[in-house]
Amino acid sequence: MSQIKIVNLQKSFGDFTAVKNSNLTIYDKEFFVLLGPSGCGKTTTLRMIAGLELPTSGEIFLGKEEVGMLRASERDIAFVFQLFALYPHMNVRNNLSFPLKMQGYKKNDIKTRVEEAAKLLRIDHLLNSNISSLSGGDRQRVALGRALVRRPKAFLMDEPLGTLDAEFRELMCLELKKLHIDIGATTVYVTHDQLEAMSLADRIAVMDGGQILQADEPNIIYNKPKTKFVASFIGSPGMNFIDVNEGISQEQSSISIEDTNFNIPKQFETSKSNKNFFGIRPENLSLTNEGGLKGSVFGVEYLGSRKIITIKTKIGEIKVKTDISINIKLNENVQIKPSNDNIIIFDGETDKSLKSEFMK
């Protein structure tokens, strides 16, 4: 197992640049998730680490070795595909032993290793089955097993749970996490599903437009997003953004929106633009009787443990996540205010969050 490091990595397909000048360090034994919308370059990055695409420029280190231009077969990594890519003309046992045969292992060693992996993944009773007779979850386990048997330096997974149905996906998520803890392998995992990313990752890198916007632990990504895109991509429902038609200056600690004054964490930075955004997550807003932003209730979504209330204000719709006990009717007039200090100001020009007491 080893650390993966990418330095100034770039990949262009003709005129289109899929990955722009990316830098990233994935630590040994880490479960690292590349998260982003489709077309953001996350899969291309993963395929370059795997050796399925060659970088246009930049370097990839696997451990201490620079592998950027090596063939996939020379890198000693394993890859789990979204479509599993199990060989349909072989049974489960042959699928699992296929990588080992190439490496010249003895028949007995192959047998023990395959059976070990099968046991770990609880597919040992399926070893002689045909691939076509397996369920989606079992196929996924075989695909993982094929990655596992070789004990590679790193596991790369490209949306491996993407094709499973919701129920299975949750189960496999748990299994993946447990498997990762058991074998402690460096894992790079690509997904567009933020819930999957949040529940699996030690660290997440959010990508958009070929760039890595932020690489941090899930709670930091969620609470202290570095850009407006990260803030909007993570969280369901997403963060509320309120237009602020004034410049933000250093030391500023309150802001006026629609004649309502809001206290904001003390700002450490001056904004470059005069059109900025006030960002706050729905759960950090609460209803109040006076002194808040006025609006009327537009919709109430019942989520079991929480309620999401959409409130129509003069400055647009704002979502508030409240306690289930709050009784509220449609079209009722309410006022909202932040319930804590988790407020982020995003610079309208750079889309980056401004440094503040909260965003240290």
Contact criterion met (CB below 8 Å) for 189 and 144: no
Give the three-class secondary structure for 218. helix
The nearer residue to other proteins, 132 or 254, going by C-beta atoms, is 132
**Exposed, middle or buried: residue 245 (CB in 10 Å: 0-12, 13-18, 19+)?**
exposed
Q: Out of 37, 54, 66, 87, which residue is the one contacting other proteins (CB under 8 A)?
A: 87
CA-to-CA distance for 112 and 266, rounded, in angstroms?
Answer: 62
In whole angstroms, the minimum distance from the beta carbon of 147 to other proteins comes to 9
In whole angstroms, the minimum distance from the beta carbon of 77 to other proteins comes to 7
Give how many residues touch other proteins by CB under 8 A. Answer: 31
- Verify binding: residue 171, other proteins, rule CB under 8 A: no
- Verify binding: residue 51, other proteins, rule CB under 8 A: yes
- Verify binding: residue 84, other proteins, rule CB under 8 A: yes
The label of the residue with tokens 């074998």 reads 183
The nearer residue to other proteins, 76 or 196, going by C-beta atoms, is 76
Q: Out of 11, 150, 169, 352, which residue is the one contacting other proteins (CB under 8 A)?
A: 150
DSSP letters for 108-145: HHHHHHHHHHHHHTT-GGGTTSBGGGS-HHHHHHHHHH
The nearer residue to other proteins, 84 or 278, going by C-beta atoms, is 84
Q: What are the residues whose beta carbons fall under 8 Å from the beta carbon of 107, sequence distance 6 or more?
A: none
Please report, for residues 44, 143, 238, 279, 345, the alpha-carbon distance to residue 328 in angstroms, rounded to integers and kept in the order given. 47, 49, 22, 24, 30
Among candidate residues 16, 268, 204, 201, the one with its CA nearest the CA of residue 213:
204
The nearer residue to other proteins, 54 or 324, going by C-beta atoms, is 54
Stretch that binds other proteins, among 128-136, 178-186, 266-274, 322-330 (CB under 8 A): 128-136
CA-to-CA distance for 231 and 239, rounded, in angstroms?
Answer: 6
Stretch that binds other proteins, among 94-102, 262-270, 319-327, 344-352 (CB under 8 A): 94-102
In whole angstroms, the minimum distance from the beta carbon of 268 to other proteins comes to 47
Instruction: Give the interface with other proteins as residue ranges (CB under 8 A).
Output: 50-52, 71-73, 75, 77-79, 81-89, 98-99, 102-103, 131-133, 136, 139, 146, 150, 163
